[in-house]
Structure 1
Amino acid sequence: MDYSAYTVEDFVSDPYFRKWVENPDQPCYEFWQAFMQQHPEKISTLEDARELVLFLSFDVVQPAIQEQQEVKASILREIRRQKHIPEPTKPAYTRITHLFRQQMYWKAAVLVGILLVAVVVLYQTRQATSIHTAYGQTRIVTLPDGSVVTLNANSTLRYTTNWAKSHIREVWLSGEAFFQVRKKPEWGHAKFTVHTDQLHVEVLGTTFNVNNRRGKVQVVLNTGKVQLQPVNNAQDTITMQPKDLVEFTADEKVYVKKQVNPEEHSAWRNHKLIFNEKSLREIAQVLEDTYGVEVVFSDPALKYRRFTGAIPNHDMNLLLDILSQSMNIQMKKNNQTILIKSE
């Protein structure tokens, strides 16, 4: 495909470009990186198209209660104004015409109200921010209320920016992130909500880690208290206490809850990975999700070998060397493929 002559609209309509923006795999990521190197003049066009794709895919945000009330009040004022127009003494057919016009005015007022609501929704939606990290990259994000999010590699965080006005604190997460949520007593009980594919995570002020990958959502609570609610079942909620780990799988639609050391699950914030009796299969998934590589086992039995230890993750080659020496295996990297085999 020759993308050199593509416009912003062309890129937005292209499925492979949208895949790169929304859910890239390694070949897709490498293709567009190479394209930008070969066509630096298209980088600005790509960025504009990327922002537009993220905007179009962002969930529509409902107007704040105050704004809804303002719109409603505007509609009622218009209806009352039309309703109390003096009605002079006129022939019967003239009064009928006047009533017909009055009904038309009311309908027009309602239509104006609907349009005002649509404008408010569009305005709020356009205040959306989307942040994406590449493979091997982490990023610290300060939210509008002062809460801090550390975004892990290959992850996307989306949120609106009008929190001070709406007092609605919510973000959408794909990938993994660690949250340090501030309490906002001046806002009353303004809950903080993290939306994932399968779960809504609701808190008032706390620190926790959310991993939303491979059709499974895992939440680990460090401090405070959170409540989990499946997207498709508002009644089936669960409350977490510190040191709780809860997993929810889309296929099974049940919670798995256990006690853990929370620091093991958020150690990536400090550029290290902590594994406690983790199988090589689980470690391989971490490598694939973090670095965008494909892990291949020469012997399927190796998947069940287990490892315990802490490894720095700022250098993937160093990480592979430490694992190889610690487990007496060979982990050979060739381009974006890692082959694991016995010594």
Structure 2
Amino acid sequence: MSKSEYSTEDFVLDPEFRKWVLTNDPEAKRYWEEFLVSNKNKIEEIEKARKILIHLPKEDNELSCEEINFEWDSLDAKIDQLESQKKQTKVVSLDSWSAIQHHKERERARRKRGFIRTSFATAGIVALFFAGLWIQTNNQVVQEEKVLSYETFQVPAGTKANYLLPDGTEVILNSESKITFASNFEGDTREISLVGEGFFEVAEDTLKPFIVKTSHVSTRALGTAFNIKAYPEEPISISLIRGSVLVTNSEVENYSEKLVPGEEVFASLDNSTWTKGQFNLNEALAWMNKTLIFKKTPFLEAKKSLEQWYGVEITLENNFPENLFITGKFQDESLENILEGMSYSARFTYSIEEKQVKLKFKP
């Protein structure tokens, strides 16, 4: 059977798939990443199979040779019993090696048995061979998923906040940012979902990698410090301060970038182009020091930053120049002071009523 026709059970039993999920084997990784690109309709089955393998008790993952032979013998006995009932003839159960040889010699006479054996071997031997293991594992995963709880920490517009994760990792979240994670980091990884901007001071744990997911991008670290900016409908940037991280992108084929301190990767808005380079530490972490920096920033982008920073809604009256860019550095300043400074060069008047701000551009 083609892997493109695999069900969840087939993925669970595929040796190369297991190598990819459980050991991150480079060759298996390359194959399955290419498979995902050309078989996007299989992502749900692959995701479920991955969860099953990760939650599968390690001591039950492998069967001994004796157990495998026993299962084959049981399979032969069941097939013989079925044929005996249909043909009213007595069939002697064979051991595993003899059954295979006997099958080869009498393939035409026993085509139906060959079909059953081949079907189990290629399309889901789990039906009998791993029946007990599959049922046990599937029930276990379903139960775990039902009881698995998630925690969410969200920072509203106009504020910033510190948060200590269960493993001791320190997180600082910028305005309008949110993290979600499994309570107590159940599983083999410490996985965080981030929307917005956050600085992570990761607690080291070599046995449990720390992964931050932002849309299609994953940032993997063991013990390090880095900043991620990933607001909706904005380019993503990842800046490494200390340690090392590996950045991957499920939507960019074969994309994998390892960063060293002082390096960052930056995505285009449509996520099609990723560039790597150096960054200015003071500028990257300015938001943590209550500093807002604009460097030839397009006006609409600056407007959005002000809305996030101060938790306000800014409406515009009259048209503003298309080539209007904002430059300035504002440390712990009030919104009124910033607008006052911008109004002269941008030629607008402003009014502030609680959370509503109006900018009126001069003709």
| TM bucket normalised to smaller | 0.5 to 0.7
1:139 is aligned to 2:161: yes
Name the CA shift for 1:319/1:239 in 2 (closer, same or farther; >3 Å): same
Q: CA deviation at 1:80?
A: 6.8
The DSSP-based 3-state class of the residue aligned with 2:194 is strand
Tell me which amino acid in the other structure corresponds to 1:179. F
Identity of aligned residues (%): 20
Name the CA shift for 1:111/1:293 in 2 (closer, same or farther; >3 Å): same
Deviations 1:106-134 (A, max 9, x none): 746643332122223333xx231111111
Q: Which residue, 108, 113, 120 being the options, matches 2:137?
A: 113
1:169 is aligned to 2:169: no
Q: Which residue, 316, 320, 333 being the options, matches 1:300?
A: 320
For structure 2, the 5+ residue unaligned runs are 1-46, 78-83, 94-126
1:206 is aligned to 2:205: no
1:242 is aligned to 2:231: no
Q: CA deviation at 1:303?
A: 5.7
1:273 is aligned to 2:262: no
Q: CA deviation at 1:234?
A: 5.4
Q: CA deviation at 1:70?
A: 4.7
2-side partners of 1:305 and 1:215: how far apart?
A: 18
Q: Which residue, 304, 313, 316 being the options, matches 1:285?
A: 304
Tell me which amino acid in the other structure corresponds to 2:58. Q
Q: CA deviation at 1:159?
A: 0.9
User: 2:350–2:357: 8 Å Cα contact kept in structure 1?
Assistant: no
User: What corresponds to 2:335 in structure 1?
Assistant: 316
Name the CA shift for 1:109/1:203 in 2 (closer, same or farther; >3 Å): closer
2-side partners of 1:132 and 1:63: how far apart?
A: 30
1-side partners of 2:129 and 2:275: how far apart?
A: 58
Deviations 1:14-72 (A, max 9, x none): xxxxxxxxxxxxxxxxxxxxxxxxxxxxxxxxxxxxxxxxxxxxx98936747442554
The DSSP-based 3-state class of the residue aligned with 1:242 is coil
User: 2:56–2:137: 8 Å Cα contact kept in structure 1?
Assistant: no
1-side partners of 2:349 and 2:210: how far apart?
A: 45
User: 2:296–2:325: 8 Å Cα contact kept in structure 1?
Assistant: no
1-side partners of 2:362 and 2:275: how far apart?
A: 33
Tell me which amino acid in the other structure corresponds to 1:223. R
User: What corresponds to 1:178 in structure 2?
Assistant: 199
User: 2:320–2:361: 8 Å Cα contact kept in structure 1?
Assistant: no
The DSSP-based 3-state class of the residue aligned with 1:173 is strand
Q: CA deviation at 1:104?
A: 8.3
Q: CA deviation at 1:207?
A: 1.9
1-side partners of 2:292 and 2:317: how far apart?
A: 21
Name the CA shift for 1:295/1:303 in 2 (closer, same or farther; >3 Å): farther
User: What corresponds to 2:176 in structure 1?
Assistant: 154
1-side partners of 2:52 and 2:172: how far apart?
A: 28
User: What corresponds to 2:240 in structure 1?
Assistant: 221
Tell me which amino acid in the other structure corresponds to 2:320. P
User: 2:152–2:178: 8 Å Cα contact kept in structure 1?
Assistant: yes
1-side partners of 2:134 and 2:312: how far apart?
A: 52
Q: CA deviation at 1:153?
A: 1.4
2-side partners of 1:333 and 1:258: how far apart?
A: 40
Tell me which amino acid in the other structure corresponds to 1:336. Q
For structure 1, the 5+ residue unaligned runs are 1-58
Q: CA deviation at 1:327?
A: 6.4
1:260 is aligned to 2:260: no
Q: CA deviation at 1:232?
A: 2.0
2-side partners of 1:305 and 1:110: how far apart?
A: 60
How do 1:59-74 and structure 2 match up within 5 A?
62=51, 65=54, 67-70=56-59, 72=61
User: What corresponds to 1:32 in structure 2?
Assistant: none
The alignment's C-alpha RMSD in Å is: 4.1
Q: CA deviation at 1:161?
A: 2.7
User: What corresponds to 2:146 in structure 1?
Assistant: 122
Using the size of structure 1 for normalisation, the TM-score is 0.63
Using the size of structure 2 for normalisation, the TM-score is 0.60
Q: CA deviation at 1:193?
A: 1.4
Q: CA deviation at 1:157?
A: 0.3
Name the CA shift for 1:70/1:249 in 2 (closer, same or farther; >3 Å): farther
2-side partners of 1:320 and 1:224: how far apart?
A: 39
1-side partners of 2:360 and 2:262: how far apart?
A: 33
The DSSP-based 3-state class of the residue aligned with 1:287 is helix
Q: CA deviation at 1:239?
A: 2.6
1-side partners of 2:239 and 2:287: how far apart?
A: 14
Aligned residue pairs total: 270
The DSSP-based 3-state class of the residue aligned with 1:300 is coil
How do 1:29-40 and structure 2 match up within 5 A?
none
